[in-house]
Amino acid sequence: MSRLYGASQDPGTYAFVALGSNLGDPQRNIHMAAHDLEELSEAPMRASSLWETTPVDCPPGSSVFVNAVVRILPRPGETSESLLVKLQKLERRYGRETKRILNEARPLDLDLILFGGEIHATGILTLPHPRATSRRFVLEPLNEIAPDLVFPGEIRTVAELLAGLPPDPAMRKLGRIQTRRS
Ligand code: ADP
Ligand code: MG
C-alpha cells in the first residue's frame, strides 16, 4: 500500500498534547486542564475520552493515572517552545513540583506530542515526543481523535501503531471531555 502523506494523515499545523494525572483528583485535574488548553487554541479543540491507565515505569505503589489527548490549533506566532513554556506554567499552576524521583506521582503532566510536522531536538524539547508512539496511554486516546495521523519519520498510522502495542487489560474508558464548543 502506498504511504503518501495525504491531507488526512499529516499532522498539519495542529499541536497534540497528552495529559496525565495520578495525584489529587485526577479526573477533575484533566477536565480543568483541558479547558485551559482550549484557551490556547485558535480553532475548536478536539478531545479524546478520559482513560484510566496502569502506571508505566513508576515507583512501586503508584496510583492509577487518568490520561487524555487533545488537539489544538496554536495561535499565530506561537512556536513549539513558547507552547511548551505555557504547558509547564500550567503544570505548576496545578501544583506540580520540580521532579525528585523518576515518574513520581503528579497532579498534572502535559507532554507536547506533536507540533505540526515539526522535528525538534534541543535540550528542552524533543518533537515528536520520543516515547509517544510506544505508550498505549498516549496512542489509545490519540486514536480516538486522529487514527489516520502519521508521525513525522513514521510510516504507520496511529491506529496501526496502537494495534502493535501490548495490551493493558486494566485500561478503561471513563467519561468524555466536554469542550466548550462540543
Ligand atoms: P515525563 O513527562 O517523561 O514524566 P517530565 O514531564 O518531568 O517527564 O519531563 C519534563 C522535561 O522533558 C522537561 O524538562 C522538558 O523540557 C522535557 N521535554 C522534552 N521534550 C518534551 C516534550 N515534547 N513535551 C514535554 N516535555 C518535553
Ligand atoms: Mg511531561
Q: Identify the residue with better confidence: 33 or 64.
A: 33
Best residue among 111, 133, 137 to mutate for probing ligand 1's pocket (most ligand atoms within 8 Å of CB) is 111
Please tell me the number of the ligand nearest to residue 135's CA: 1
pLDDT tens for each residue of 135-182? 999 999 999 999 999 999 999 999 999 999 999 888 999 988 876 655
The answer, yes or no, to whether residue 51 has pLDDT greater than 90, is yes
DSSP, collapsed to helix, strand or coil, labels residue 105 as coil
pTM for the whole structure? 0.91
* 23-42 per-residue burial string, b: 16 or more CB within 10 A, e: under 16: beebbebbbebbebbbebbe
Mean pLDDT across 123-129:
96
Q: Identify the residue with better confidence: 119 or 55.
A: 119
- For residue 126, give the ligand 1 atom closest to its CA: 20
Q: State the catalytic residues.
A: 96, 106, 109, 111
Ligand 1 center–CA 111 separation, angstroms: 6
C-alpha cell belonging to residue 96: 506540580
Beta bridge partners of 19: 68, 110
Residue nearest to atom 14 of ligand 1 (CA): 124
Ligand 2 center–CA 4 separation, angstroms: 31
Residue nearest to atom 22 of ligand 1 (CA): 112
Q: Which fold has domain 15-176?
A: Alpha-Beta Plaits (3.30.70)
31, 177 Cβ separation under 8 angstroms = yes
